[in-house]
Amino acid sequence: MSEIKEIYLHNYTKPAFYIDSINLVFDLFEEYALVTSMMQIQKSDADEKHLRLDTIDLELISLYINDLKVDESRYIIEEESLTILNVPATFRIKIENKIYPQNNTELEGLYKSGSIFCTQNEPEGFRRITPYLDRPDVMSVFTTTVIADKDKYPILLSNGNKKEIVEVDENRQSVTWFDPHKKPSYLFALVAGDLGSVNDSYVTASGENVELNIYCDLGNESKCHHAMNSLKEAMLWDEQKYGREYDLEIYNIVAVDSFNMGAMENKGLNIFNSAYVLADTDTASDANFMGIQSVIAHEYFHNWTGNRITCRDWFQLTLKEGLTVFRDQCFSADLNSQEVQRIEDVKALRERQFVEDASPTSHPIQPKSYISMNNFYTATVYEKGAEVIRMIHTLLGEENYRRATDLYFESFDGQAVTTDDFLWAMQKAGNIDLSAFKNWYHQSGTPKLEVEESFSEGIYSLTLTQKIPNAVDGSEQKPFTIL
């Protein structure tokens, strides 16, 4: 066991190296998989001599720098790292390693859900696949080739656009995908299986045709139509409400049975828990249908709020999640009933987030430290985070809010940023000072409002008093801006 380490926001440092491009080859077999990663790397901190890559229980086959085999004396493998000593300022690296997706029960990295190979890499699963700078502020251009038995795994998917299909031999085929958009490793995805699908298309506002596919277990195809309609509704809504269009030739969604989150917004290849894709009128309730509509939209909306503009570090999780939950709540309200949607959202907030915020695990929507990031996918970061965005929307008003989100997209497209960057855009285009409002990001607990009414000598008075809870450590907190 490695020792337990607490990670602090105030210790953030920029990456010492960047990865300009990565070319991945996966050779999938029944007992194991071989992974080859070829990366173009650049040093950004001249004082840093050694390259330390994240990895877990690495089984290394070979290591090359600029096509030369690296001698064992020049690298160190530890439980969670591969350190290559004295690397040059720019170089190519090739790493071959072996992994065991069939034995991976973590539901992180590359694993098998039934007979389907699939991935989950948010927040730190990619290091279980291949050694990498597995942090969201290292964004790279990915090319991925998947090779597998063509009878067992006729469908081979990864991020981006499909580039090439090659018959490797009688039994195996290879499919290559290229994703032109820089992305962090947590958005990498791969799927291989014998899957059924429903297929459709969408023409974007600027006239680009997008192929839409939803993959599922064979036989379940007829249960995917509601998810497909929801996807098209979400694509149109994001164009109309936020001026955001889709940016690849293909959008793929895959439903799998073993998945530890609702769904995941991997670039161009969303992977879903089948509960949020499959529905038919014989077995599904209205709530099931609405749940699917909202999760399909949530993952689609991440393409702009999460993927094209991502988080600098995991303390910024609410930057993408609070904003995307707010966006999916507004989408559901627009497509169904404003009133019912608001009642449901507030009910969920009171039942789950208020309870969390009154407990020993109460934390700000932007936590200051964590031991395991996996524990921070909480109602506070997501749902309270969405309420904070909703207050900004109310403060700015619809028109200024749209100007401010336009500025956010223009200023930070292709970057990994912070909640302060988001608030900068809101302040600038909204022409408003949000410095006091920022307390919502750094303080925890549910404030209480006391309301006093009085009527005397013809004057009605209403007095509102804010009661601010102490933080979990007992320290006093500052007043909140309340709307």
User: Are the CB atoms for 209 and 201 separated by under 8 Å?
Assistant: yes
Task: Report the residue number whose CB is nearest to ligand SER.
Answer: 261
Q: Give the three-state DSSP class for 36.
A: strand
String marking each residue 190-229 x if it binds ligand SER according to CB under 6 A:
----------------------------------------
Question: Quick one: what does residue 263 bind among Zn ion, ligand SER, none, with the CB cut-off 5 to 8 Å set by partner type?
Answer: ligand SER
C-alpha span between 124 and 313 (Å, rounded): 11
Beta carbons of 255 and 216 less than 8 angstroms apart: yes
**Which residues make beta-bridge pairs with 450?**
465
In the complex, the smallest distance separating the C-beta of residue 318 from Zn ion, rounded to whole angstroms, is 10
For ligand SER, the binding residue among 64, 202, 377, 409 (CB under 6 A) is 377
Q: How far is the CB of 377 from ligand SER (least distance, A)?
A: 5
Q: Does position 373 bind ligand SER by CB under 6 A?
A: no
- Smallest CA-to-CA distance from 194 within 149, 160, 163, 228 is with 149
Q: Residue for token digits 């040059």?
A: 88
Both structure tokens of 252: 């793929």
Q: Is 299 a catalytic residue?
A: yes
Given candidates 15, 154, 262, 469, which one binds ligand SER under the rule CB under 6 A?
262
Q: Which is nearer to ligand SER, 97 or 120 (CB)?
A: 120
Q: How far is the CB of 272 from ligand SER (least distance, A)?
A: 9
Whole-number Å distance between alpha carbons of 295 and 327: 11
| CB neighbours of residue 124 within 10 Å | 20
Closest separation in Å from C-beta 187 to ligand SER: 9
Return the range that interacts with ligand SER (CB under 6 A); candidates 12-20, 157-165, 262-270, 468-476. Answer: 262-270
Burial profile 219-244: b = 16 or more Cβ within 10 angstroms, e = fewer: ebbebbebbbebbbbbbebbeebbeb
Contact 174, 24 (CB under 8 A): no
Angstrom distance (rounded) from CA 365 to CA 356: 12
Give the contact letters, 54-73, x = binds to ligand SER (CB under 6 A), - = no.
Answer: --------------------
Binding partner of residue 262 among ligand SER, Zn ion, none, CB cut-off 5 to 8 Å per kind: ligand SER
Binding partner at 226 among ligand SER, Zn ion, none, C-beta below 5 to 8 Å by kind:
none
Tokens of 419: 């909640």
Tell me the closest approach of the beta carbon of residue 261 to ligand SER, in angstroms: 4
C-alpha to C-alpha distance for 225 and 111, rounded to whole angstroms: 27
Is residue 343 within 8 Å of residue 418, measured between CB atoms? no
Residue 321 as a binder of ligand SER (CB under 6 A): the answer is yes
The count of residues interacting with ligand SER (CB under 6 A) is: 10
| Residues 298 and 324 sit within 8 Å (Cβ to Cβ) | yes
Distance separating alpha carbons of residues 184 and 308, to the nearest angstrom:
10
Between 54 and 321, name the residue whose CB sits nearer to ligand SER.
321
| 51, amino acid identity | L
The answer to the question of residue 264 lying near ligand SER (CB under 6 A) is yes
| Nearest-approach distance from CB 295 to ligand SER, in angstroms | 7
Judged by beta carbon, residue 17 or residue 301, the one nearer ligand SER is 301
Q: Which of 96, 108, 299, 344 is catalytic?
A: 299
Distance, C-alpha 311 to centroid of its chain: 9
Three-state DSSP class for 258?
coil
CB of 476 to ligand SER, least distance (A): 33
Query: For residues 242-261, which are near ligand SER according to CB under 6 A?
Result: 261
Supply φ then ψ for residue 270, to 5 degrees: -70, 140
Separation of CA 120 from chain center? 10
Considering the rule CB under 6 A, would residue 265 count as an interface residue with ligand SER? yes
Nearest distance, CB of residue 263 and ligand SER, angstroms = 5
The residues pairing with 17 across neighbouring beta strands, listed in sequence order, are 43
**289 binds ligand SER, rule: CB under 6 A:** no
Of the residues 122, 134, 179, 357, which one makes contact with ligand SER according to CB under 6 A: 122
User: Between residue 304 and residue 323, which ones bind Zn ion under the rule CB under 5 A?
Assistant: 321
| Chain positions contacting ligand SER, by CB under 6 A | 122, 261-265, 298-299, 321, 377
| Chain positions contacting Zn ion, by CB under 5 A | 321, 324
Residues designated as active site: 299
